[in-house]
């Protein structure tokens, strides 16, 4: 199970980093989401991986239990990353509507006026 | 338990929703409420700073849960200084935003402003590494809104870059915290400090990884090379009052480095020996160079000011990299100075841009109040570049004195001095192009834009006045900061204040 979780985190992170380095807003948003999934799984695993172990101490029997704190941290992280992704989508949408394209790089002198129309949307 | 400790977080947290939901249609009411909040916050911050002048670390246990099981806020001298700095800066910036009407060019300026203050104050007060992350997110999400306040194409696109950069940084922060929790089993700063010091040498590899990851995260916030590149675009495109407020945001990164690497990974911790000096020193040196060349090469006023902020962060971090109590106190003095001088420059630039119409560094017809604005620019530039009589000179002198005993002292001195020289050249060029070359241009009287009212000028002068005060009262301020640094490097005081009540409760 450790190998599965570890490789899942690795694949998600690699995918996220690759997507975040793209030049368009949409892949970058996907990349940020992938990264936040990766970090959520990672945080969850910091309390050690255990199957069938509720995060509750049992006073009367010696049953296995798991660390509840990472689960609380993950919940917080999920809420925050969800909100942040929403904000990111709204800002990306705003930038797209303002600029008519979703390229993420800003070129020198571009903010002084419109690009010639044939330059728009060439590099994907 | 002193309940005032939590007031700097609770006050803006209560005010912001009121501003957003109740006063959203009434800008006058919102201004009055926001200003009242800022004044109250300044009062509380002054009170807390005076409380801390007596010495001793004060802890606030939320819900009276003992640490490390509950959440704590910790007020020590460093927190008190940073709170006071934030409160004063926010007063100046808020005044400027109201007087120039920036707050009315988009929605929810005041609500976002208060949320931003809540996040910053929380980050300065928290005694828990995960809550540091949460407060970072609070201040970031408010800053996203402020960054794109009043919209516009360039601003939206620069805002998008800023958000993506910080989301990646937040993810890295979580990875670092996860690694730290997995190895130590705690995220309370005091408890972390104890655990890290008790670790056997075989288990320290992962702690070191976490320490370096955290350093990268804070370096992103503090705009250290090689992760400084988000800053110029962000600051140059943000609304000017917001850029002035952001002067404190880089300091949040610097604060986090100072806090975590003195209390948790202090000089006596073998696991992370030398992390700060080895990594921060070269990064800071290159940051100074990058900032200086940026100032020299900028074609517009706002990017030039943003690069000067990068340079000043480099100077600040050189002092931090020395990692001795005295050098830390000089870093803190320079931190106070660079916050106010950056704010003064951005506020002044806003007045110049408002009269000029743009911020391109080319000869254009003179602004309406050429003489006055030129004088103010001269004063602010003196402050930022570090010439006497303002506090920049004393600050740089102290930083250089602070790193005197280091093996890399020659490099640091050379970089600081040459960086200052290049920055002076850049500022001299900008000032002469904007204010002197313009007088050669003929301009019809009716084409002159409206003058800045005294109310609009006061915040800039206030920021400059604070620089002068920092210079006049350098002795007492440096004394307070030296005690602050001593307190920081004596981690046992912090640890005892947070954890001793728990130990006593268990007996």
A98, A99, A103, A107, best to mutate vs chain B, most B CBs in 10 Å: A98
C-alpha–C-alpha distance, residues A37 and B164, integer Å? 16
Q: Are B15 and B38 in contact (CB under 8 A)?
A: no
State how far residue A19 is from chain B, nearest Cα, in angstroms: 12
Position A45 in a domain = yes
CB < 8 Å to A25, chain B: 160
C-alpha span between B383 and B369 (Å, rounded) = 21
pLDDT of amino acid A112? 45
Rounded mean pLDDT of B206-216?
91
Domain contains A44: yes
Q: Residue B325: which of B24, B150, B90, B78 has the closest Cα?
A: B78
Residue B147 CA, distance from chain mean position: 16
Which of A26, A106, A113 would best serve as a mutation to test chain B binding (most B beta carbons within 10 A)? A106
pLDDT of residue B64: 86
Query: Is pLDDT at B1 greater than 80 in this prediction?
Result: no
DSSP character string of B5-46: GGHHHHHHHHHHHHHHHTSTT-HHHHHHHHHHHHHHHHHHHH
Per residue in B372-392, pLDDT (tens digit) is 999 999 999 999 998 888 999
Angle formed by the axes of helices B301-322 and B391-402, nearest 10°: 30
Domain boundaries, position A34: 2-50+66-105
pLDDT (average), residues A69-78: 91
Q: Which residues in chain A have their CB less than 8 angstroms from residue B134's CB?
A: 76, 80
Cβ contact, residue pair B156, A35, below 8 Å: no
Kindly report the nearest CA distance between residue A57 and chain B, in angstroms: 15
Indicate the residue of A38, A46, A84 with minimum beta-carbon distance to B141.
A84
Residue A28 lies in a domain: yes
User: Best residue in B145, B151, B153, B172 to probe A by mutation, most A CBs within 10 Å?
Assistant: B153
What's the CA gap between A67 and B144, in Å, rounded?
34
Domain spans of chain B, in order of start: 274-472
What's the burial of A87, exposed, middle or buried (CB within 10 Å: 0-12/13-18/19+)?
middle
Query: What is the Cβ-side half-sphere exposure of residue B438, based on CA atoms within 13 angstroms?
Result: 25
Any B CB within 8 A of A19 CB: no
- The single-letter DSSP state of residue B366 is P
Q: What CATH number does residue A78 fall under?
A: 1.10.287.3510
In this structure, is residue A124 part of a structural domain? no
pLDDT tens per residue across span B393-438: 999 999 999 999 889 999 999 999 999 999 999 999 999 998 888 7
Q: What share of chain A is helix, strand, coil (3-state, %, to 5)?
A: 65, 0, 35
Q: How many contiguous H segments (helices) and E segments (strands) does chain B have?
A: 19, 2
Residue of A35, A42, A76 lying closest to B134 (CB–CB) = A76
- Residue A124: pLDDT band with limits 50, 70, 90: very low
- ipTM greater than cut 0.95: no
Burial class (CB in 10 A: 0-12, 13-18, 19+), B127: buried
| Residue A121 belongs to some domain of the structure | no
Instruction: Note whether residue A90 is domain-resident.
Output: yes
A80–chain B nearest CA distance, Å: 8
For chains A and B, count residue pairs whose Cβ atoms are closer than 8 Å: 97
Helix (H, G, I), strand (E, B) or coil at B52: helix
**Count of structural domains within chain A:** 1
Contact A91, B163 (CB under 8 A): yes
């Amino acid at each position: 199970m450790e190998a599965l979780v570890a490789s899942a985190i690795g694949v998600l992170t690699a995918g996220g980093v690759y997507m975040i380095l793209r030049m368009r807003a949409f892949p970058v948003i996907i990349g940020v989401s992938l990264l936040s999934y990766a970090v959520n799984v990672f945080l969850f695993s910091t309390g050690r991986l255990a199957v069938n172990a509720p995060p509750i101490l049992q006073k009367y029997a010696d049953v296995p239990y798991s660390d509840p704190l990472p689960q609380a941290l993950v919940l917080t992280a999920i809420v925050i990353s969800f909100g942040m992704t929403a904000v990111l989508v709204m800002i990306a949408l705003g930038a797209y509507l303002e600029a008519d394209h979703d390229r993420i790089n800003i070129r020198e002198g571009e903010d002084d006026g419109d690009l010639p129309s044939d330059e728009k949307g060439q590099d994907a | 338990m002193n309940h005032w400790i939590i007031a700097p977080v609770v006050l803006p947290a209560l005010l912001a929703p009121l501003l957003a939901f109740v006063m959203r249609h009434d800008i006058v009411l919102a201004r009055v409420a926001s200003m009242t909040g800022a004044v109250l916050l300044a009062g509380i911050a002054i009170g807390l700073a005076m409380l801390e002048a007596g010495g001793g670390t004060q802890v606030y246990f939320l819900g009276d849960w003992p640490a490390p099981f509950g959440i704590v806020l910790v007020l020590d001298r460093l927190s008190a200084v940073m709170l006071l700095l934030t409160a004063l800066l926010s007063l100046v910036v808020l005044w400027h935003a109201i007087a120039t009407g920036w707050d009315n060019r988009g929605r929810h300026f005041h609500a976002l402003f208060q949320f931003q203050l809540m996040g910053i104050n929380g980050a300065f007060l928290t005694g828990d590494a995960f809550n540091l992350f949460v407060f970072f997110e609070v201040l970031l999400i408010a800053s996203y809104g402020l960054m794109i306040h009043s919209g516009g194409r360039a601003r939206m696109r620069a805002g998008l870059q800023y958000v993506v950069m910080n989301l990646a940084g937040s993810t890295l922060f979580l990875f670092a915290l996860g690694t730290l929790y997995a190895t130590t089993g705690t995220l309370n700063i005091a408890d972390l400090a104890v655990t890290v010091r008790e670790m056997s040498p075989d288990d320290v590899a992962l702690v070191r990884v976490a320490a370096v990851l955290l350093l990268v995260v804070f370096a992103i916030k503090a705009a250290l090379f090689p992760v400084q590149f988000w800053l110029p675009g962000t600051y140059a495109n943000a609304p000017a009052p917001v850029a002035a407020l952001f002067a404190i945001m880089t300091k949040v990164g610097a604060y986090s480095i100072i806090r975590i690497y003195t209390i948790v990974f202090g000089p006596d911790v073998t696991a992370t020996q030398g992390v700060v000096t080895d990594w921060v020193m070269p990064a800071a040196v290159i940051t100074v160079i990058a900032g200086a060349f940026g100032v020299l090469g900028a074609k517009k006023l706002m990017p030039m000011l943003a690069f000067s902020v990068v340079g000043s962060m480099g100077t600040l971090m050189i002092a931090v990299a020395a990692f001795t109590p005295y050098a830390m106190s000089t870093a803190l003095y320079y931190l106070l100075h660079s916050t106010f001088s950056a704010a003064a420059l951005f506020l002044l630039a806003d007045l110049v841009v408002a009269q000029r119409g743009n911020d391109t560094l080319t000869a254009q017809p003179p602004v309406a109040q050429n003489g006055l604005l030129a004088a103010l620019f001269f004063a602010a530039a003196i402050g930022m570049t570090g010439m006497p009589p303002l506090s920049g000179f004393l600050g740089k002198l102290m930083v250089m004195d602070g790193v005197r005993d280091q093996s890399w002292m020659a490099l640091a001195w050379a970089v600081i001095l040459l960086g200052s020289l290049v920055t002076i050249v850049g500022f001299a060029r900008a000032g002469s192009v904007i204010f002197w070359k313009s007088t050669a241009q003929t301009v019809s009287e009716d084409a002159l834009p409206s003058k800045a009212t005294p109310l609009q000028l006061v915040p800039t002068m206030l920021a400059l006045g604070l620089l002068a005060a920092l210079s006049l009262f350098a002795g007492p301020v440096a004394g307070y900061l030296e005690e602050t640094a001593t307190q920081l490097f004596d981690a046992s005081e912090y640890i005892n204040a947070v954890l001793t009540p728990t130990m006593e409760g268990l007996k």
